């Protein structure tokens, strides 16, 4: 397991703040015994470890197959339905949505290999990620990756806790399946908009692993 580069500033700031708070608590409470300071120290260590876990990248055997659409994120499948895409396709697509909890790995990966033909950031609200309108009203970043005649739209969506979306792709770039697409700090949701007729390999409520689980066949 390694720590993602997006985590270094957050982890460092958290560690410094907790160290300062622990020093202050120690000075204010240890004149009458150090039980409070000791408890606060253990709580601080737990909080720091939890923050570190947000930015972990576990070692995995990634799924690499041009016929398959691989999960772009860790989490639980919360939507599988046909929708009309107003943003890019202007037609019906099959939407598969993955909800990322704070306990999930937060790195996002390319579901397929291909050329990036669309890349757009949208300002928006911070509705809870499972809200039906979060796909269209929340802050989000959309990219379309095309391979051959088919393409997939990947939408990183902010939520009530996720306040920063990072996307690494550029229009015209050729990307490889399972390489990093971006990062959503503190979880949220990732939507896939797939061609109608795509054979889906997951079910509602199923837990998937980014870069490993197969969402469907392209």
Q: Is residue 154 part of a domain?
A: yes
Q: Which of 191, 204, 192, 141 is nearest to 171 (CA)?
A: 141
Q: Is residue 62 part of a domain?
A: no
Distances in whole angstroms, Cα of residue 102 to Cα of each of 12, 45, 93: 19, 18, 28
Q: Is residue 8 part of a domain?
A: yes
pLDDT tens sequence across 203-213: 999 999 999 99
The domain boundary residue, chosen from 34, 57, 80: 57
Tell me how many domains the chain contains.
2
Q: Is residue 63 part of a domain?
A: no
Q: Which of 175, 2, 198, 17 is nearest to 94 (CA)?
A: 198
Q: Is residue 203 part of a domain?
A: yes
* The predicted structure's pLDDT at residue 137: 60
Q: Report whether pLDDT(134) > 60.
A: no
Q: Which of 177, 183, 176, 167 is nearest to 215 (CA)?
A: 177
Q: Are residues 6 and 32 in the same domain?
A: yes
pTM of the full predicted structure? 0.84
pLDDT tens sequence across 144-194: 999 999 999 999 998 666 567 899 999 999 999 999 999 988 768 999 999
Report the catalytic residues.
188
Average pLDDT over residues 108-137: 78
Q: Evaluate whether 200 touches 73 at the Cβ level (below 8 Å).
A: no
């Amino acid at each position: 397991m390694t720590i993602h580069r997006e985590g270094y500033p957050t982890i460092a700031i958290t560690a410094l703040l907790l160290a300062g708070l622990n020093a202050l608590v120690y000075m204010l409470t240890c004149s009458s015994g150090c039980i409070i300071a000791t408890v606060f120290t253990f709580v601080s260590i737990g909080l720091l470890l939890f923050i570190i876990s947000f930015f972990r990248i576990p070692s995995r055997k990634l799924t690499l197959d041009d016929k398959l659409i691989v999960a772009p994120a860790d989490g639980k499948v919360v939507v599988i339905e046909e929708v009309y895409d107003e943003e890019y396709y202007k037609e019906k697509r099959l939407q598969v949505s993955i909800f990322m909890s704070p306990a999930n790995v937060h790195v996002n990966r390319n579901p397929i290999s291909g050329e990036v033909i669309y890349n757009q950031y949208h300002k928006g609200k911070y509705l809870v990620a499972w809200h039906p309108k979060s796909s269209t009203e929340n802050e989000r970043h959309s990219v379309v990756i095309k391979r051959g005649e088919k393409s997939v739209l990947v939408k990183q969506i902010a939520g009530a806790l996720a306040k920063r979306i990072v996307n690494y792709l550029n229009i015209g770039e050729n990307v490889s399946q399972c390489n990093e697409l971006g990062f959503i700090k503190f979880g949220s949701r990732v939507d896939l908009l797939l061609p109608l007729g795509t054979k889906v390999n997951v079910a509602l409520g199923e837990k998937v692993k980014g870069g490993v689980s197969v969402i469907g066949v392209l």
